[in-house]
Amino acid sequence: MKLESLKELYIEELRDIYSAEKQITKALPKMAKAASSPDLQAAFKEHLEQTKVHVERLEQIFEQLGTSPKGKTCKAMEGLVEEGSELMEEDAEPEVLDAGLIAAAQRVEHYEIAAYGTVRTYAELLKEKKAVGLLQETLDEEGETDKKLTELATSLVNLEAAAR
């Protein structure tokens, strides 16, 4: 399909992040299961609930645009999820695995932060005010999650792994 306008690119990018979020809702329960630290398990579970809301916000935006969120596969997220799966298959000390899970999750968050920053800006340019608000809310939550993962990594998981 030929992209003729910023609006079309905006919709394509929204479909990409929609696919990414759907993939994350499937990956996060597995990551929570694989984590040993109760704090990390809780963080993954909390972000799963947030992620379900991220999907709903995107669906609201698509409804307003009068078009379907489906039709695109986020290949970048497929790759990130695949790397996470490979990690979970490794024979690893629990604390070391936790550190690796945090690293994998932060890659996902940074991808999302980049993607949401872009679509939020496109929505501003296109004067899609309601979408700007919804996308900004999600962007803020991705940022908070990233910060929380950094705190978990430094305060607990990486230190425990280093002590082995």
Q: Which residues bind Fe ion (CB under 5 A)?
A: 51, 54, 112, 142
Please, what is the minimum distance in Å from the beta carbon of residue 162 to Fe ion? 26
Residue closer to Fe ion (CB basis): 99 or 135: 135
Question: Is-contact 121 132, C-beta < 8 A?
Answer: no
> What one-character DSSP code corresponds to residue 128?
-
Specify the residue, 23 or 51, whose C-beta has the smaller distance to Fe ion: 51
Residue 52 to residue 12: CA distance in whole angstroms: 20
Q: Which is nearer to Fe ion, 10 or 161 (CB)?
A: 10
Cβ-based nearer residue to Fe ion, 74 or 88: 74
Query: Closest residue to Fe ion, Cβ-based?
Result: 54
For the CB of residue 93, give the shortest distance to Fe ion in the complex, in Å.
Answer: 26
User: Residue 14 belongs to what H/E stretch?
Assistant: helix 6-34
**What's the closest the beta carbon of residue 59 comes to Fe ion, in angstroms?**
13
Question: Shortest approach of Fe ion to residue 6 CB, angstroms?
Answer: 23
